[in-house]
Amino acid sequence: MNERDIIQKTTDHVRGLLSGEGSGHDWFHVQRVCRLALRIGREERADLYIVELAALLHDVADWKFAGGDHEAGSHAARRWLHSLDVPPDVTDHVCDIIACLSFKGAGVETPMRSLEGQCVQDADRLDALGAIGIARAFAYGGHKGRLLYDPTIPPQPHASFEAYKKNTGPTINHFYEKLLLLKDRLNTITAGRLAAERHAFMESYLQQFLAEWNGEL
C-alpha cells in the first residue's frame, strides 16, 4: 500500500470515528488541524507524510474521552497503523507525536521532539484560538455541564497534569488556564504569525463578555 492509500484509508477511518461528535473534537476539527499542520509543515520544510498521518490520528482516542488515559491515543493510532502495515519507524514517529501533543496544564512543559510533531502540535493549538477556539471552548464546556462563568471561582494555574485533568471550573476560566497561554507556547515561526490575530480576537471577546456580564454595555 502506498503513502496516499494509507492517508486515504486513515482519513476515512477517522471521519467514521469522529463525525457527529459534539464536544468540539469532531472530524471537522481534525480536518482543520490537518490543513493547518500541512500549511505549517510546508513552510517549515517538514516531512509532510508524517505530519498528515499524525494530524489525522491525533484525536482518535483523546484522554478527555478515554478515562484520563493519556496513552490511549497513541495506542489507538499504533493499532490502526499496524493494521495497514505501516513501517515501524513511521509508526513510532507518529505515535510519539500523539503521545506528546496535548496541553497538560499551565505549569507543565510539553516539549515536542521532532519538527513534524511541532507542526501538528502548533496546528492543534491554533484551532483552540480565535473564533473557532471560542466556539469549541463553549461546546466542550456544555458537553461537560460546566458553568459559563462564575466570578467567585478564580482560574487555577495547574501545576500538574493530574490537577489539570481534574479541573471542573467554568468555561471562561479555561481561557486564562490554557487558551491565552497558547500563543507563547507555539514551536514554529509560521504558527506564531498565524496565532497573533486569533489571540487578539480572543482578548477582545473576553473584554466584551465581561463588560456585558457586569452590565457595562
* CATH code at position 15: 1.10.3210.50
pLDDT digits (tens, 9 = 90+) for 83-107: 999 999 999 999 999 999 988 888 8
Check whether 70 has a pLDDT greater than 70.
no
- For 140, phi then psi, to 5°, come to -70, -40
Confidence of residue 108 (pLDDT cuts 50, 70, 90): confident
Residue 200 pLDDT? 98
Number of neighbours of residue 14 by Cβ within 10 angstroms: 22
Q: How far apart are CA 158 and CA 19, in angstroms?
A: 31
Residue 62 pLDDT? 64
Residue 80 pLDDT? 95
Helix (H) or strand (E) run with residue 191 in it: helix 189-213
**Better-predicted residue by pLDDT, 156 or 204:** 204
Q: What is the mean pLDDT of residues 173-178?
A: 96
Number of neighbours of residue 109 by Cβ within 10 angstroms: 7
Residue 61 pLDDT? 67
Q: Which residue's entry shows cell 476539527?
A: 29
The total domain count for the chain is: 1
Which one-letter DSSP state was computed for residue 132?
H
Number of neighbours of residue 113 by Cβ within 10 angstroms: 11
Q: What is the mean pLDDT of residues 174-192?
A: 96
- Can you give the pTM of this predicted structure? 0.93
Q: Which residue's entry shows cell 473584554?
A: 207
Distance of CA 131 to the CA centre of its chain: 15
Domain span holding position 127: 3-213
Residue 66 pLDDT? 44
Q: What is the mean pLDDT of residues 203-216?
A: 97
